[in-house]
A = this chain, B = another copy of it.
Amino acid sequence: MFPLLVATVLAAEDPLPSWKDTAPKKAIIAFVHKVTDEGSPDFVPQPERIATFDNDGTLWAEQPVYFQAFFIFDRVKALAADHPEWKEKEPFASVLKGDMKGVAAAGEKGAMELLAATHTGMTTEEFSKSVTDWIGTAKHPKTGRPYTEMVYQPMLELTAYLRAKGFKTFIVSGGGIEFMRPWTEKVYGIPPEQVVGSSGRLRFEMRGDKPALFELPEVNLIDDKEGKPVGIQTHIGRRPIAAFGNSDGDLQMLQWTMAGDGPRFALLVHHTDAEREWAYDRTSHIGKLDKALDEATAKGWTVVDMKADWSAIFPPAK
């Protein structure tokens, strides 16, 4: 029993065991104590302890492409038998051939066609099931691990620590809201109602005697860049006091968070570990971190150097 006891005490002493004892960890813990310690001059009442997290590149990995893109490619392959015309039609033909250059060449228009073919024209429940089925079986091409194990152990600890300290944790991601909701509660402890993301319009209709919600091929919200504060206000209705991101797509969320009154915290995850994960920033086609890195430096926001500040990247394999 003694080792278990020690482990428990140590765990209680250190809420962030996968964070090295460097500046980011110290800054996080100092901020949390400042806003949660009774009697602190900067005490924040529990209902106002709102923390928002970007997903791709902040809570889980995003290389070599956003994982939602792998879902889309796999769905196109799964649906291809019902769409013989896709063999001749771009961008579907390139997806079916595994020709990523061809997919990229189809540009934004091609991406929207792939999104429409795999995300719309079905009920929200049918879509949700397609995500649940996929995420339960799909594996990352480089690591061979399930995508739900390509999450960052230090960030799992951080979200749990904040919740233990009375924070409400939200995801605010450019990814699809309905793509995330089926698994965020199990993987991150963040329930569907605390997930904000990009979305299409929905239509309610009666299918005979049964009501159904259909996903339409019309954009409702692009929850990225300027869209992040919009998504935050629409869904949460109050300004976060802490925000966590990894790219220029998070800059406006961090600006919006930091511009409120009272104590504030902003953090960027900088991908610097080519060995244990990936290293990329200013010129990356995914998760470009350029302007936000300059602003973080200028304003003294916390920047995590993954290689230097995290003792573990992913959770142990199950």
Contacts and interface: CB of A to CB of B under 8 A. Distances in A.
Given A192-B237, A211-B259, A233-B124, A185 B226 contact: no
A234 B181 contact: no
Contacts of A234: 177, 199, 202, 220
Interface in A209-224: 210-211, 213, 220
Contact of A237 (B47, B177, B230, B252): B177
User: This chain: how many copies in the complex?
Assistant: 2
A87 interface: no
Nearest to A168: B193
A238 B192 contact: yes
A15 interface: no
Contacts of A185: 47
Contacts of A47: 185, 191
Contact of A230 (B202, B210, B255): B202
A217 to B, nearest CB: 16
B256 A202 contact: no
A34 interface: no
B210 A252 contact: no
A interface, size bucket: 35 or more
Contacts of A229: 204, 211, 213
Contacts of A210: 259
B193 A237 contact: yes
Interface string A230-253: 100111111000000000000010
B238 A193 contact: yes
Contacts of A114: none
A255 B211 contact: yes
A230 B213 contact: yes
Interface in A174-207: 177-178, 181, 185, 191-195, 199, 202-206
A204 B256 contact: yes
Nearest to A230: B202
Interface of A: 47, 50, 124, 168, 170, 177-178, 181, 185, 191-195, 199, 202-206, 210-211, 213, 220, 226-227, 229-230, 233-238, 252, 255-256, 259
Given A202-B233, A204-B227, A204-B229, 4 more contacts: A192-B237, A192-B238, A202-B230, A211-B256
**10 cross-chain pairs, A with B, having the tightest CB-CB distances, nearest first:** A192-B237, A204-B226, A193-B236, A181-B237, A204-B229, A202-B230, A211-B255, A211-B256, A211-B259, A192-B238
